[in-house]
A = this chain, B = another copy of it.
């Protein structure tokens, strides 16, 4: 037998991470704030608890926020009363401001709630939430396939934040494309940026990649330019929290800078996101409000102060990448390239 020290890559259909589990009367989610140091589940029995888990970042990632909200609505419907669903909806809608998947999931669930008699309300809503998640899983798989086809063999790729399994119900958006790419020989090595201040890259993406048996080396966010120049990078692959009608991409803080660096080094810049991330009601990226989170997350790391007492800090959680810097947007309905408003509408509104 051949000896190998290389870890076997995990096939796409075998996913070791069960981070969102529907139990009929509750939703169990992994507390992502504690990863990778501890795997602990939080149980949500009401829509309010789902909203709180979302606001507190127990769960994060735009597609996953949408899935959790759908289950939140299903929990509210368990009473069989439409008014409970209607009062749960604004709670969930306010939980996080950026991910448009959240708004999309709630609109869909509201329509389901109002589409039949109260006797079947609970059942209809639970079925719809489960279908919403199954769809997300299927979208992930399709995007992974379409995205991997864009890469050249043996690519070294940079990714940012966590657009992986933990951000979705399936294998992830950007990380799904990377995993499919690795299995197809398209991806040779991954450099996840640590993604300060919340460290989604070092805590979540690197953990997922290691679990999936993909060769990965962590870098700090400020090393990306040096890598593009010296190690040579063949692609940058990220997810998105909201895509405007003109194809501008809102994503984790640092994405815009990476896109500029990629352009400077002629490195293709790919965004992977389901069509539910597209917000045609927002004309361009500069109209997307940028969520600011606590400055404490900048001046402390896991509770350890890294700045002087009394330090002021800003914590912009997202930024906007103008579509001119994006090589292609990979959706489950097809690849949007060039990344402009016209092509985006054509792909997203197509039947597939």
Partner-B contacts on A (CB < 8 A): 36-37, 193-197, 199, 202-203, 206-207, 210, 216-226, 229-230, 253-254, 256-257, 260-261, 264, 290, 298-299, 301-302, 304-314, 316, 319
A205 to chain B, nearest CB (A): 10
A68 to chain B, nearest CB (A): 24
Inter-chain contacts of A220 with B (CB < 8 A): 196-197, 221, 253-254, 298
A278 to chain B, nearest CB (A): 22
Contact A307 B206 (CB under 8 A): yes
A19 to chain B, nearest CB (A): 15
What's the Cα separation between A36 and B308 when bound, in Å? 6
CB-defined A-B contacts under 8 Å, sample of 14: A36-B308, A193-B222, A194-B307, A197-B220, A199-B306, A202-B299, A210-B310, A217-B312, A218-B311, A223-B254, A226-B253, A226-B257, A230-B290, A302-B306
**Most B CB within 10 A of own CB, among A197, A217, A224, A311:** A311
Instruction: Contacts A222-B253, A301-B301, A319-B226 given; indicate if A217 touches B314 (C-beta within 8 A).
Output: yes
Secondary structure at the A interface, as helix, strand, loop or mixed, is: mixed
Chain B residue nearest in CB terms to A303 = B304
Chain B residue nearest in CB terms to A161 = B222
Contact A203 B319 (CB under 8 A): no
Contact A226 B256 (CB under 8 A): yes
Inter-chain contacts of A210 with B (CB < 8 A): 308, 310-311
What's the Cα separation between A281 and B309 when bound, in Å? 44
What's the Cα separation between A304 and B302 when bound, in Å? 8
A345 to chain B, nearest CB (A): 25
A49 to chain B, nearest CB (A): 28
Q: What is the oligomeric copy number?
A: 2
A225 interface neighbour in B229, B256, B290, Cβ under 8 Å: B256
Contact B222 A257 (CB under 8 A): yes
A196 interface neighbour in B196, B217, B319, Cβ under 8 Å: B196
What 9 pairs across the A-B complex have the smallest Cβ distances? A222-B254, A225-B257, A196-B220, A218-B313, A226-B319, A221-B222, A36-B308, A202-B307, A301-B301
Contact B37 A305 (CB under 8 A): yes
Instruction: Contacts A260-B260, A298-B194 given; indicate if A218 touches B307 (C-beta within 8 A).
Output: yes
A219 interface neighbour in B199, B310, B313, Cβ under 8 Å: B313
What's the Cα separation between A224 and B260 when bound, in Å? 12
Contact A319 B219 (CB under 8 A): no
What's the Cα separation between A301 and B222 when bound, in Å? 16
Contact B196 A222 (CB under 8 A): yes
Inter-chain contacts of A316 with B (CB < 8 A): 223, 226
Chain B residue nearest in CB terms to A260 = B264
Chain B residue nearest in CB terms to A219 = B314
Instruction: Contacts A196-B196, A219-B314, A298-B194 given; indicate if A257 touches B224 (C-beta within 8 A).
Output: yes
Chain B residue nearest in CB terms to A224 = B257
What's the Cα separation between A260 and B257 when bound, in Å? 9
A304 interface neighbour in B223, B304, B308, B309, Cβ under 8 Å: B304
A26 to chain B, nearest CB (A): 28
Instruction: Contacts A196-B196, A306-B194 given; indicate if A312 touches B218 (C-beta within 8 A).
Output: yes
